[in-house]
Structure 1
């Protein structure tokens, strides 16, 4: 029996190296700060975007038609579309929804090529099961999860009190703009769209999606799957751009390495060292009393502002 899937962050460095570790080449992700077509077009070629949003848990699932666009049930048989069958897998599933629909122009590597060939005749629900049970994909996905000694997310189901987030993909396939969401019964068509038109066509769709939420909701994240920007820098002879992109890769590798480490032991030893130092200097009791006074002052300040004492 396969193990579980852990939560991964919506982060350009995580997604870039996740796909690289699966065997892909010359692909990276870029986070989009502004929602405009010019910013997206500057990254061309853009193969698709991954959108992260807070999932409305109290909302009933779509039936005959989605809120925007139309279900294309026939397309589910002609492109890679997999139903989401397991918690926490939607991030990697969204990446693959873009990648495996552009394998004719991208080098997806032998592992993913074999996976797509193996599942090519499957209906969407069996594709989802095959993805969830792929040891190679799951282990690569989990290698980018933050180390936590306190929570085993593979054994924990979300509750009504949790904020639940969901990844979906938008990509142009066969001159149609598709929304690929494993929680929906079929790909959602948003109309005609060539590969070159994608930056202009996808932005209004994303804007309409965001407008469904209250104005104060800002917890969204958008990442674009693009060609490795170092290639573009070399092609145009931009040494400064090449340096920036390589430095960014170095930072991503450093951050991904930190995600794998459990720092609880380090913090524990650090606290022991501080206590030992204060004890040796004869300042331990004074240090404890000062900490108590600061805590009491914070509690008094919170009372004055009308907060309950136990609000954290």
Structure 2
């Protein structure tokens, strides 16, 4: 196992099974399609949201946030960790929600021990402790997509790259906090009770998205909520329960695929196909190659036309 942290996807199935492997019980993530308070409320008990956005690689933290105010005292009273390593921000964001909901949520013995151990640390040391946790790193890396071509732990981003960053929003002690490990402290967005959270967080997210050009659509929002299967059982909604169980089955299948490298399989399959075509004779083989090349050129041309249309 590499000592580094690999990139994980902003995916409800990845995050849900990641926290289950860390020992969290009766919690899941659900993707939000629209920025509407009612969409959040329909999910029942909400613990927080995880927001993924394109991060300007040249941007540096400032003394004053563009929205809200830094709460340096809260950095010592709640779980807030500085991000000290690349690629860990997804797991750090979900822990920023869950470790501040201990009591509302059963976070399990491992995370509870980690929180207690790091409780008296300042944010930078807390971040180092998180980054050096073998358990959290290994669980995180187990959900990284397999790639035979690059080692994502060895490559630093440049200003020409698209870099994406995860941050968390949650209600703690009657305040709406933005928890971003690249900032010097939690950012307070004012008073916010747990029932108020959907109405308070959506305008903050809308203001953040408004900073980007209208053409930028690469955002993702995941809600951290009580397991929706439990809610469906409590209200006797069999249809919703079956839908959630199907979703879990799909997540398990997708997570299994992420862990496998299919390049070897594709290579062996190609050998079999080529052998079969050669057995049909040289003319049949050459015709097959020409047809394949023509289809490839046609697809490439279609992509160029589509890209031109999008740019217009």
TM-score by length of 1: 0.93
The correspondence of residues 58-73 of structure 1 with structure 2, limited to 5 A, is 58-59=58-59, 61-73=60-72
- Taking the aligned partners of 1:251 and 1:235, their CA distance within structure 2 comes to 23
**Greater alpha carbon shift after TM alignment, 127-136 vs 277-286:** 277-286
CA contact (8 A) 1:2 1:135 kept: no
Consecutive unaligned residues of structure 2, counting only runs of 5 or more, are none
Consecutive unaligned residues of structure 1, counting only runs of 5 or more, are 308-312
- Taking the aligned partners of 2:224 and 2:111, their CA distance within structure 1 comes to 17
1:45 aligns with 2:45: yes
Provide the residue aligned with 1:167 in structure 2.
Answer: 166
Q: CA deviation at 1:291?
A: 3.5
Q: CA deviation at 1:289?
A: 3.1
CA 1:189/1:306 → structure 2, altered by over 3 Å: closer, same or farther? closer
CA 1:8/1:304 → structure 2, altered by over 3 Å: closer, same or farther? closer
The correspondence of residues 170-185 of structure 1 with structure 2, limited to 5 A, is 170-185=169-184
CA contact (8 A) 1:2 1:133 kept: no
CA contact (8 A) 1:131 1:137 kept: yes
- Taking the aligned partners of 1:306 and 1:57, their CA distance within structure 2 comes to 25
Determine helix, strand or coil for the equivalent of 1:178.
strand
**Greater alpha carbon shift after TM alignment, 93-102 vs 146-155:** 146-155
Q: CA deviation at 1:302?
A: 9.3
The correspondence of residues 239-254 of structure 1 with structure 2, limited to 5 A, is 239-254=238-253
CA 1:300/1:5 → structure 2, altered by over 3 Å: closer, same or farther? closer
- Taking the aligned partners of 1:240 and 1:303, their CA distance within structure 2 comes to 43
Q: CA deviation at 1:156?
A: 1.2
CA contact (8 A) 2:51 2:167 kept: yes
Q: CA deviation at 1:149?
A: 0.8
Provide the residue aligned with 1:310 in structure 2.
Answer: none
Q: CA deviation at 1:306?
A: 12
Deviations 1:110-139 (A, max 9, x none): 110010000000000000000000000000
Provide the residue aligned with 1:5 in structure 2.
Answer: 5
Provide the residue aligned with 2:133 in structure 1.
Answer: 134
CA 1:213/1:302 → structure 2, altered by over 3 Å: closer, same or farther? closer
CA contact (8 A) 1:31 1:224 kept: yes
CA 1:275/1:234 → structure 2, altered by over 3 Å: closer, same or farther? same
CA contact (8 A) 2:61 2:182 kept: no
CA contact (8 A) 2:28 2:225 kept: yes
Provide the residue aligned with 1:144 in structure 2.
Answer: 143
TM-score by length of 2: 0.93
Determine helix, strand or coil for the equivalent of 1:171.
strand
**Greater alpha carbon shift after TM alignment, 273-282 vs 254-263:** 273-282
Provide the residue aligned with 1:290 in structure 2.
Answer: 291
- Taking the aligned partners of 2:136 and 2:155, their CA distance within structure 1 comes to 21
What RMSD, in angstroms, separates the aligned Cα atoms of the two structures? 2.1
The size of the alignment, in residue pairs, is 306
